[in-house]
Structure 1
Amino acid sequence: MSEPTARTGHPTPPASGGSSSTSAARAGGAVRGSRAAEAFLHNPALGPLGALAVAIVVFGLTTSTFLTVDNLSLVVQQSLVVATLALGQTLIVLTGGIDLANAAIMVLGTMLFARLVTEGTTPPLALLAGFAVCALLGAVSGGLVTWLNLPPFIVTLGMLTVVLALGRLYSQGNSWPVNDSLLNVLGEGGYLFGQVKVTHGMTLAVLMFAITWYALTKTAWGKHVYALGNDPEAARLTGIHVGRTRFSVYLIAGVIYAFAAWQALGRIPNADPNAFQTGNLDSITAVVIGGTSLFGGRGSVIGTVVGALIVAVLRSGLTQAGIDSLYQDVATGVLVIAAVAFDQLARRRSR
């Protein structure tokens, strides 16, 4: 009995041909999946960017006030201090380190700015002194990690305790109100298109992130930072001055924390030694959610911006939805664990 034929008179392809087509389709799907995975590996900010878009859509649909111009501007303003702390944290994490003292250094900077001006020091000189102290504290951490080869976690944990105590001693346990125009200037600004409030702090943050992005992606120093995070010994063998690079990262991070202190006084004109008690954890959260690997060598400042915005969007959206703040912390914690788990999977896949 002959094989059934199509209307054209030609024999229909055998069953094995269909299997071949199916196999080819599966292979094509696997290739596309592999390419998508490679895209995520080379662009770690893509995942967080998608998560941010989903969060904005969800809160926009479930609340009536989230997508208003005023609220979106407020979300960005609320993320500025943590985002700036996270910028310095990103540099350190890229080298395979971590900084638990960044928020404490920032708070000490606010105390220095406020008390010095209150006691008669000119505002520019007070700013200079605060920046110098923050940079010095960053340099001390960097020196201990670099030249004594101490673990960054232990060094910055000890620095956290020391700086917290110094801040409370210097402030005498009091908060110091700030009424000087120079210290408050980053909270001022104007309106874009007559509706969107844009503060000088926002402009400064954009400039800092742009400069840091350029330094990391377009300069030899940035390539050295990534190389150090990937493999310090291999970086040393290729001629990179590992110690100098690591020390410079902690020093620059200290300067960035001083900018965060200035931004904090623009947001709330009051220097409080007990402020930002979870600032260090919030900055680490923004860095990790933004796709920067805690093991170093992988990440971007763009991802950190997105991570900081995700944290701010979650808190604003859940608050407007009437969700208890404890559940907000649960949601943030779950995101951090998921981000670290994804990072582990990405590292295994890249090997």
Structure 2
Amino acid sequence: MPDTTPAPAQKPPARPFSFRNGNIGVKWCCLLALSVAFTVPLHAMHLPAAILIGPMFAAVALAVNEAHLPIPGPAFLLAQGIVGCMIACSLQVRIFSKVIGEGPLFLGGVMCVIVLCTLIGFCLARWKVLPGSTALWGASPGAATVMTLMSQAYGADMRLVAFMQYFRAAAVAIATTTMARSTTPVTTADGASAFWAMPASWPAFGETIGVIVIGVCLAHVVRLSAGALMLPLIIATGLQDMGLLSIELPPWFLAAGYAVLGWGIGLRFTRATLHYAARALPYILMAIALMIAGCGAMALVLARFKHVSLLTAYLATSPGGEDTVAIIAATTPGVDMPFVMAMQTVRFVLVLFTGPLLARTLSRWVER
């Protein structure tokens, strides 16, 4: 008599772990926990962009494991407005008076850094290391967050721009800190503690939020590329210069804005993007080394003819972010802080307003 006992059901093959079908609340808890886990050690290393890079790393880790957590569009736009107001804090007219007094050598140093970085970006684009205008945006000197956000509005791959910009920011921060410590002891930790302990003025904070909201809404109405960042920046700078606004960004508010930006960038990554970035990494490292070495050579010339210390000249020409340079310059004895910040600010403004035009023009040459 044949055996009619049903065969035991076979277990389906185990699937690799994935967040694809996970609970949305669990995904957010994992994102928050990973963000803290990445940010704390980076902040302990005194990396100025830690509050953005940490959440971005956490988002990348979840994104490559298929965790779909789209950041609401309005939140991402408001976070850009926060960055715009943060930048406006350092854009003061009295800084530019330093430029008028320094003359052609000062402006020549600024332009040489921009030309060097643009040429390196053009070569990376020409050799197809990164697609389209992505290399040009990634090589823009300084203003990493701004260039990353603006690049998306002008057709570049924001993920790869972020990869190149923040990799360079970390390398430059290490190089400048090492040079500063080899000259004089740097008390970066005191600057970081003062930043986090800084009290907030609530009336000024309310006015700052109003500028952010108005700027973002206006950008949506006029459909301006990168307007969510640019319009709050322009409005806040103008009001601040006229004495009508005191920009106030409490640390927790600034950290929240950076976290949203980091998540918004990181969650766009895929495994294919990471593989592409890994293949391009040797060329990117070479480009970063050339930028640092080229700016170091310009610093030697500036120190020779301008009669400032080599450390002051190097910080002034450094291709890193303005926030990185500001912290190191402010906490290092013997550095000419007004000279450094004037040169960094002028370069930032030039890159901010000429970057889109340069990227569009040079990308056409790349495609020929």
Q: TM-score, normalised by structure 2?
A: 0.30
Q: TM-score, normalised by structure 1?
A: 0.31
Task: Please tell me whether Structure 1 or Structure 2 has the larger radius of gyration of its CA atoms.
Answer: 1
